[in-house]
Structure 1
Amino acid sequence: MNIASPGVAKAAPDIDVSGAMLVDLTTGQILFSKEEDAMLPPASITKLMTAFLVREAIEAGELSWNEEVTPSADALALTKKPGLARIPLVNKPYTIKELYDVALIRSANEAAVTLGEAVAGSEEAFVVLMNERATALGMTQTTFANASGLDSVSAGRPGENLTSASDLMKLALTYLTKYPDVLDVTKQAYVDIDGVRFEATNRMLTGRDLAYSGMLGFKTGTTDDAGYCFIGVSTRDGRTVLSVVLGAKTDEGRYTATKALHDYAYGDFVMTPILRTGELVPEQAFVAGGEVEHVSVRTTSAFEVLIEKGQPVPKLVYDLPETSAPVKADQQVGTVTVELSDHVRYLDGEQPPKGMLVTAEAVEEASFLTRMTRAFSDFLDEIRLVLGKLSLVDRLELL
């Protein structure tokens, strides 16, 4: 079955950002990337690692959502710096849940520092944990210097946070896989604390001015050095898309780029059936000791692959290990998948889809006559092979 990819190929989005990546979470397929491994400042997207470590500490029983913690003098100092106070925390106890929510929804720097102190005792010790966790996740282009994502002058700590679109994708995927309910927090358009309501920093959420259908959050980030950054998650028609945008030049620019990427994912990539249910494939399975040595195989269900419109259907790869007689009809004997290419890429650790292949008919064990006939044929083949390697003089000497 030879199916052409539907539609007409369109150019990938031309987005004005320093680094980006787009992944279809339903398939694990990389749909777009731009400078995905370039080390760039992530600004407050850093808080994803902070919140992730808090969540891990809660799961380990080291913290609890209702536990109260009072911001330190260092954390409260951020509320006094112009432009840095996302939430005007005061010298009073807050629950871990309150701080977690405002760090993710409102990108509160004071809350992030306080959470780091709650986990490790100090922000300095927490940064060590951040970098250890990044290494464990394979974030090879990442180094953390503080819990908030601020530049060194604003954070009051030496060093800068640096990462890449591909590393942030690893972090975001791990977070979403282990704790998918984080989206119950990041999809909120506002957060209440101390009797005051604050809008989320994400302008693409439902009810905001740049609302995008299906948007579930995830995290914004902005500094002078980093520009405007955003990791966005959306879901439509049974598919979930995750994007990373770093270094946009304006606030609206990061959302324009995110919209372009998500529109591209939903509008230009189609789950395309390559093999029908019950279709015989071109390859056959070898049956050792069978009445026949090869048996036809077929699919058990439709085999589909996410393909960009206008791009060629990827080459099919069959895995049909040798099997031994007797073989029943509908016995699983192998799989079919697709060959990876520039147009079909998957995340590290993710595999392309596989379809099950079964025998189209039964094969009995070879009868005595069949085995003898086959053995004699093999003997003649060996003689022909030997003779084919001999010179004419050698052959005459054998006669």
Structure 2
Amino acid sequence: MKDKWIVSVLICAVLITIVFPMNASAAPKVEASGAMLVDMTTGQVLFSKDEDAMLPPASITKLMTTFLVREAVESGELSWNEEVTPSEAALALTRKPGLARIPLVNKPYTVKELYDVALIRSANEAAVTLSEAVAGSEEVFVQQMNERATELGMTQTTFANVSGLDSVSAGRPGENLTSANDLMRLALAYLTKFPDVLDVTKRAYVDIDGVRFEATNRMLSGRDLAYPGMLGFKTGTTDDAGYCFIGVSTRDGRTVLSVVLGAETDNGRYEATKALHEFAYRDFVMTPILRTGEIVPENVFVAEGEVETVAARTTAAFEVLVEKGQAVPEPVYDLPDTKAPVAVDQQVGTVTIEPSESVRYLDGESPPTGTLVTAESVETASFLTRMSRAFADFLEEVRLVLGKLSLVDRVEML
């Protein structure tokens, strides 16, 4: 009797699953003015909230500042070992209560020292000093920041200073405004061009002038809110902006990037970041679309070949992130006609996953593609075979034309 009861329960469970399939898990609750989540491995957008709202970014501004500094180093305009002495404008920030992140003094510092403390400790005075080293003045450097933002497609961004402070604290007119979407573009550009920036932002402290300072990021290893795999990236806080954070983490071969703007508390920005990253790792599964070497269902037409079509296959596994409970998207093949002779493993096309309800990519970004090659070779057909096909094609065209004519038209043609 007991066994029959267990069997009945199992049958009911199966029927419930069939009738009421599991839906995708609920998106994380993010208490912030704007937010965005992207999987860097695939370029897919996994979550967004008011992504285009123009908001103050606070010290996340320094990502653009240090990005331009890094580009200047790469171009040879600056060197890491070049020494720079802070100006009076930069040193003035160290004398303002609450603004001095690093108490710089009137002495030379290397570009690398200033770069590190700007990212790790969010040093306002270091950001100003770096801008002066690159452009001669903060005003000119801000113009370069806005020009670079335009180049990156950051259409909702205006920079007024290099530190992210409000106009009164920064001593410059205007406020910095941007959006979660724009900051995602900047962060992706930074990480793509200079991935070793994470070697800096993952450090839990920085030493300068013989003094050790803790990183502003509390999610780094060894800090009180440590999150497994956290690699940085940048914090920001002002009264107007609230608490902001761009975070990068890695787990099981995937890298996730999040933007949180305008959280109400310091803990709140980290709680939102953790919720987003857990959502990415827990609720999205890397789903195989095609295996390595798999023959795809569409063939390539081969002009003048011994055979008129040839099979195509993948060169590597093709995967896409799919949220649990969502349908697996169908691949789209691009297999243009080719001409004989065709060698085996000759590249003949691509496969991709187009944007859909279940798959979204950052606007302006191209979906990832997989390469398709021929599964076998095709030799050029003999002259007789090609002439026979041409004649058969001609007869087919005549048949189609005649099929469209009325009986009277056909008689008149005769």
Q: Does 1:82 align with 2:97?
A: yes
Q: Per-residue displacement from partner, 1:205-253 (whole Å, max 9, x unpaired)?
A: 0011110011111110001111110011111222211111111111111
Counterpart code for 2:216? T
SS for the counterpart of 1:181 is helix
Aligned pairs for 1:269-284 within 5 A: 269-284=284-299
Q: Per-residue displacement from partner, 1:52-97 (whole Å, max 9, x unpaired)?
A: 2222233333333333333333222222322222222233333322
Counterparts in 2 of 1:102 and 1:325: CA distance versus 1, 3 Å: closer
Aligned pairs for 1:87-126 within 5 A: 87-126=102-141
Quick one: which of 137, 140, 143 aligns to 1:128? 143
Shift of 1:373: 4.1
Quick one: which of 47, 50, 58 aligns to 1:32? 47
SS for the counterpart of 1:217 is strand
Counterpart code for 2:247? G
SS for the counterpart of 1:273 is strand
Which position in structure 1 is the counterpart of 2:336? 321
Counterparts in 2 of 1:261 and 1:381: CA distance versus 1, 3 Å: same
In 2, are the aligned partners of 1:22 and 1:244 still within 8 Å (CA)?
Answer: yes
Q: Does 1:311 align with 2:326?
A: yes
SS for the counterpart of 1:166 is helix
Q: Does 1:175 align with 2:190?
A: yes
Q: Does 1:45 align with 2:60?
A: yes
SS for the counterpart of 1:81 is coil
Q: Does 1:384 align with 2:399?
A: yes
Which position in structure 2 is the counterpart of 1:255? 270
TM-score under structure 2 length normalisation: 0.88
Which position in structure 2 is the counterpart of 1:150? 165
Q: Per-residue displacement from partner, 1:124-157 (whole Å, max 9, x unpaired)?
A: 2222222222222222211111111011111121
Aligned pairs for 1:185-334 within 5 A: 185-334=200-349
Which position in structure 1 is the counterpart of 2:361? 346
Counterpart code for 2:140? A
In 2, are the aligned partners of 1:305 and 1:353 still within 8 Å (CA)?
Answer: no
Q: 1-side partners of 2:344 and 2:383: how far apart? A: 23
Q: Does 1:165 align with 2:180?
A: yes
Q: 1-side partners of 2:247 and 2:330: how far apart? A: 32
Counterpart code for 1:223? T
Shift of 1:201: 0.8
Question: Which range moves more in the overlay, 289-298 or 262-271?
Answer: 289-298
Which position in structure 2 is the counterpart of 1:3? none
Counterparts in 2 of 1:303 and 1:179: CA distance versus 1, 3 Å: closer
Question: Which range moves more in the overlay, 14-23 or 387-396?
Answer: 387-396
Q: In proportion to residue count, which structure has more helix?
A: 2
Quick one: which of 66, 72, 77 aligns to 1:62? 77
Counterparts in 2 of 1:91 and 1:361: CA distance versus 1, 3 Å: closer
Counterparts in 2 of 1:135 and 1:359: CA distance versus 1, 3 Å: closer
**Pairs aligned (count):** 393
Shift of 1:8: 5.6
Shift of 1:362: 3.8
Counterparts in 2 of 1:42 and 1:360: CA distance versus 1, 3 Å: same
Quick one: which of 383, 388, 393 aligns to 2:408? 393
Segments of 5+ residues of structure 1 without an aligned counterpart are 1-6
Counterparts in 2 of 1:96 and 1:334: CA distance versus 1, 3 Å: closer
Question: Which range moves more in the overlay, 215-224 or 274-283?
Answer: 274-283
Counterparts in 2 of 1:371 and 1:61: CA distance versus 1, 3 Å: closer
Counterparts in 2 of 1:376 and 1:54: CA distance versus 1, 3 Å: closer
SS for the counterpart of 2:195 is coil
Shift of 1:380: 3.0
Q: 2-side partners of 1:38 and 1:202: how far apart? A: 24
Counterparts in 2 of 1:159 and 1:387: CA distance versus 1, 3 Å: same
Counterparts in 2 of 1:178 and 1:324: CA distance versus 1, 3 Å: closer
Q: 1-side partners of 2:233 and 2:172: how far apart? A: 26
Q: 1-side partners of 2:190 and 2:358: how far apart? A: 27
Counterpart code for 1:363? V
Q: Give the percent of matched residue pairs that are identical in Structure 1 and Structure 2.
A: 83
Q: Does 1:72 align with 2:54?
A: no
Question: Which range moves more in the overlay, 201-210 or 70-79?
Answer: 70-79
SS for the counterpart of 1:17 is coil
Counterparts in 2 of 1:386 and 1:210: CA distance versus 1, 3 Å: same
Segments of 5+ residues of structure 2 without an aligned counterpart are 1-21
Shift of 1:276: 2.6
Q: 2-side partners of 1:134 and 1:86: how far apart? A: 26
Counterparts in 2 of 1:393 and 1:346: CA distance versus 1, 3 Å: same
Q: 2-side partners of 1:357 and 1:195: how far apart? A: 57
Question: Which range moves more in the overlay, 279-288 or 388-397?
Answer: 388-397
Counterpart code for 1:60? S
Counterpart code for 1:71? P
